[in-house]
Amino acid sequence: MKPDVLIVGAGMIGAACADALSACGMRVTIVERDAVGSGATAAGMGHLVAMDDNAAELALSSHSLALWKDLVEGQPRRHEYSRCGTIWVAADDEELEAARAKAATMSAHGLECGVIGAQEMYQLEPQLRPGLAGGLLVQGDGLVYPPKSARILLARAVARGATLVMGEVVTLEEGAVLLADGSRLGAGQIVLAAGTRCLALAPELPLRPKKGHVMITDRYPNFIRHQLVELGYIKSAHASDGESVAFNLQPRPTGQILIGSSRQFDTTDLEAEPSMMARMLKRAVEYAPALAGLNVLRCWTGLRAATPDGLPLIGPDLSRRNVWLATGHEGLGITTSLATAELLAAQMAGAKAGIDARPYLPNRFEAQGRAYG
């Protein structure tokens, strides 16, 4: 029997969509060319972080964090979940003032956070360099191991009757997809949830690949206890061109430390670049000098799918009947995956979601005079 929905991509977004749609009673098939939870899902840092660059980003990320809290409750080890919290580090008084504004915005949205002075910050994180002004502590942020969470969500969908097909989708057709082996799979609705790979199937989508590097160290338990991010990260995260790096450290439950972050446009080459790694390490050591004495074990890269306005595409495609989009999450795919799936499932089932779907609908670009292409 033909499925109600066929999802292209079994990363974090695709797996979450399969879980949500199967929970609505839909017959789901999900197609993945590599391993479940590979691609950008495996490359990411796995942070669950509230972001407030704009109201829509804050609504999506904070709602998704509440869904994550429900998902991991009672089984944190299955997801390798840690509620480590985030400290947004202020280098000077100007950035500390920005932290206060950020705290006011997040607090008004019900998030547990507060500005901390330099003395308290150094008590929490003594590895930070002297002379910093303080920061913003967001207690509810956390992290997971994304490939594992993706497999858990997909397994829930399969337990409800969903089917996983291994293969590469090479062509979108009316009500079907064509695989590289020549086989054809039909479905009532098709969901594109394959990150930057969606461009191979729908090149007119308003997406750009944004390359990122991540490094991981040997095990150094309690070297840091919170995710540490410079307040300048927001500027680099939303840059629209060029290359940038920002200080971002994350303590893994294994005792290892993830080191980020970098952003590069206009390349899809997944080779790790020594020059970019050197820039990242230099920036990280500027904030945490003792990091220079630690062993880095491995570096890898991934491609984020970025939209012009920094918000994902969640909803019906503008140019294809019965095709839906769940992509364009840039660096927030893991954080916002559960809310994305809820929004998509609600639209497809004619139900109501926990937040307003309108800011994320693909037709916003047409409304702004920026139609696809």
- State both tokens at 306: 């970025």
Taking only the tens place, the pLDDT of each residue in 90-145 is 999 999 999 999 999 999 999 999 999 999 999 999 999 999 999 999 999 999 99
DSSP codes, 318-367:
SSSTTEEEEE--GGGHHHHHHHHHHHHHHHHHT---SS--GGG-TTHHHH
The yes-or-no verdict on residue 237 having pLDDT over 60 is no
Q: What is the mean pLDDT of residues 292-299?
A: 97
pLDDT score for 364:
95
Confidence of residue 218 (pLDDT cuts 50, 70, 90): very high
Q: Rounded distance, CA 303 to CA 119, Å?
A: 38
Average confidence (pLDDT) over 337-343: 98
Q: In whole angstroms, give the CA distance from residue 367 to residue 202.
A: 20
Report the distance separating Cα 16 and Cα 193, nearest Å: 10
Q: What is the pLDDT of residue 240?
A: 59
| Dihedral sign computed on CA atoms, order 44, 46, 51, 57 | positive
Strands (E), the chain: 5-8, 28-32, 47-48, 86-90, 113-117, 134-138, 142-143, 163-166, 169-173, 176-179, 184-186, 189-192, 208-217, 227-230, 243-251, 257-265, 296-306, 313-316, 323-327
Which two structure tokens, joined as six digits, stand for 357?
């779907």
Question: In this predicted structure, what is the pLDDT of residue 366?
Answer: 79
pLDDT in tens, 20-73: 999 999 999 999 999 999 999 999 999 999 999 999 999 999 999 999 999 999
What average pLDDT does this structure show over 250-276?
95
Collapse the DSSP code of 116 into the 3-class scheme (helix H, G, I; strand E, B; otherwise coil) and give the result: strand
The more confident residue out of 368 and 153 is: 153
Over the stretch 154-165, which tens digit does the pLDDT of each residue have? 999 999 999 999
First to last CA, the chain: 36
Express each pLDDT in 59-88 by its tens digit: 999 999 999 999 999 899 999 999 999 999
Beta pairing partners, 190: 6, 323
334 residue type, one letter? I
- Percentage of the chain beyond pLDDT 70 is 96
What pLDDT is stored for residue 372 in this prediction?
61
Question: Which pLDDT does position 266 carry in this prediction?
Answer: 83
Q: Supply the DSSP string of 137-166, one letter for each residue.
A: EETT-EE--HHHHHHHHHHHHHHTT-EEEE
Query: Residue 253 gets which letter from DSSP?
Result: T
6 pLDDT tier (thresholds 50, 70, 90)? very high
Please report the pLDDT score of residue 232 as a whole number: 79
- Residue 107 CA to residue 114 CA, distance in Å, equals 8
pLDDT tops 60 at residue 171: yes
> Do 5-44+146-205+309-367 and 84-141+208-306 fold alike per CATH?
no
Q: What is the pLDDT of residues 315-329, one digit of tens each?
A: 999 999 999 999 999
Question: With contact defined as beta carbons under 8 Å apart, do 170 and 138 qualify?
Answer: no
What residues does each domain of the chain span?
5-44+146-205+309-367, 84-141+208-306
Q: What is the CATH number of domain 5-44+146-205+309-367?
A: 3.50.50.60
pTM of the complete model: 0.95
Mean pLDDT over the full length of the chain: 95
Residue type, 284: A
Confidence category of residue 371, pLDDT binned at 50, 70, 90: low
Whether 284 has a pLDDT exceeding 70, the answer reads yes
Q: Which CATH superfamily is domain 84-141+208-306 in?
A: D-Amino Acid Oxidase, subunit A, domain 2 (3.30.9.10)
Q: Which residues touch 47 (CB under 8 Å, ≥6 apart)?
A: 86, 141, 142, 143, 227, 250, 334, 335
pLDDT at 147 over 60: yes
Give the pLDDT of residue 255: 97
